[in-house]
């Protein structure tokens, strides 16, 4: 399976918000990403709208609609506000993330033993609205099993631990744990996404086995683009994913 890239535009939005006007426009960079071969765009509107805003959902939905086959993935904690925006705007995918409003970034997956039953009807409601669902989970076989119980279409493996291990160079055992979770998820009928702290250096080993459908990447990609340029950075990610290693 080829792994597709969804470009997270949160950090472009962060720069935009620094001056209170639409510069840089996230749609400009979204278009570069889509034209460069990304399968889609991701934003994660947090309750304080520090970077991506709820209004961005509609703007990116319109942009993506101009590119047949491309997708919009909205991530976030399923509070009433975000749920309403998601149901109104109907992105292609809603990735449910268990973040508190004051977290500096996402740093854990769901505890579905605690929250799985509560999420199940919301997942069904999204699916009835034509929205594919994904649950943000740690690389834990039990959580993967619980995710399947919710009826979610996909899981997103939270990859910060892998990224940290990669930097320590002893990442093989942990990578195997992620791969076992991915294989279990697929055996249970779910498709596997992954994201958080993936970058040009650590991506290839993570997608080499071909069991990851989509990676969403933003923070490192934006920093790499400061060095390389945005279009060149997208090109390099697509090259890695097309090579499959």
- Residues annotated in the binding site for 3-amino-2-oxopropyl phosphate, as ranges? 8, 19, 197, 218-219
Paired with 216 in beta bridges are: 6, 195
Helix ranges (H only) for 46-199 are: 54-65, 80-89, 112-128, 141-150, 160-168, 172-187
CB 39 within 8 A of CB 4: yes
227 is catalytic: no
**36 touching ligand LD2JLWAY, by CB under 6 A:** no
Residues 202-221, interacting with ligand DXP (CB under 6 A) = 216, 218-219
CA-wise closest residue to 76 among 40, 38, 50, 112: 50
Binding site feature residues: 8, 19, 46, 51, 105, 197, 218-219
Q: Which of ligand DXP, ligand LD2JLWAY, none does residue 71 bind to, with CB < 5 to 8 Å depending on kind?
A: none
User: Which of 4, 85, 156, 196 does the annotation list as catalytic?
Assistant: 196
Residues 215, 202 contacting (CB under 8 angstroms): no
Both structure tokens of 153: 């279409």
Residues that bind ligand LD2JLWAY (rule: CB under 6 A) add up to a total of: 13
Nearest CB to ligand DXP, comparing residues 7 and 63: 7
Q: Which residues pair with 155 in a beta bridge?
A: 135, 192
16 binds ligand DXP (CB under 6 A): no
The separation between CA 28 and the C-alpha centre of its own chain, rounded to angstroms, equals 20
Cα distance between residue 160 and residue 166, in whole Å: 10
176 is catalytic: no
Q: Provide the token pair at 14.
A: 């962060």
Residue 139 interacts with ligand LD2JLWAY (CB under 6 A): yes or no: no
Selected from 196, 202, 207, 224, the binder of ligand LD2JLWAY by CB under 6 A is 196
Catalytic residue among 75, 156, 214, 224: 75
| Catalytic positions, written as ranges | 44, 75, 196
The residues of the shown chain that bind ligand DXP, judged by CB under 6 A, are: 8, 10, 44, 75, 97, 105-106, 136, 195-196, 216, 218-219
């Amino acid at each position: 399976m080829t792994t597709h890239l969804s470009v997270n535009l949160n950090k472009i939005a962060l720069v935009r918000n620094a001056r209170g006007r639409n510069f840089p426009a996230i749609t400009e960079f979204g278009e570069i990403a889509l034209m460069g071969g990304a399968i889609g765009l991701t934003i994660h509107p947090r309750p304080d709208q520090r970077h991506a805003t709820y209004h961005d959902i509609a703007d990116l939905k319109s942009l993506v609609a101009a590119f047949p086959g491309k997708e919009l993935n909205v991530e976030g904690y399923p509070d009433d506000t975000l749920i309403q925006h998601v149901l109104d705007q109907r992105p292609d995918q809603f990735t449910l993330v268990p973040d508190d409003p004051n977290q500096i970034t996402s740093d854990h997956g769901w505890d579905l033993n605690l929250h799985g039953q509560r999420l199940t009807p919301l997942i069904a409601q999204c699916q009835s609205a034509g929205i594919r669902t994904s649950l943000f989970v740690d690389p834990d076989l039990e959580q993967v099993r619980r995710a399947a119980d919710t009826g979610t279409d996909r899981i997103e493996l939270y990859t910060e631990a892998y990224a940290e291990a990669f930097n320590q160079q002893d990442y093989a055992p942990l990578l195997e744990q992620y791969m076992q979770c991915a294989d279990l998820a697929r055996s249970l009928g779910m498709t596997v996404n992954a994201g958080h702290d993936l970058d040009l250096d650590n991506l290839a080993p993570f997608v080499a086995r071909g069991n990851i459908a989509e990676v969403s990447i933003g923070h490192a990609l934006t920093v790499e683009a400061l060095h390389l340029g945005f279009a060149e950075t997208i090109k390099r990610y697509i090259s890695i994913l097309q090579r499959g290693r």
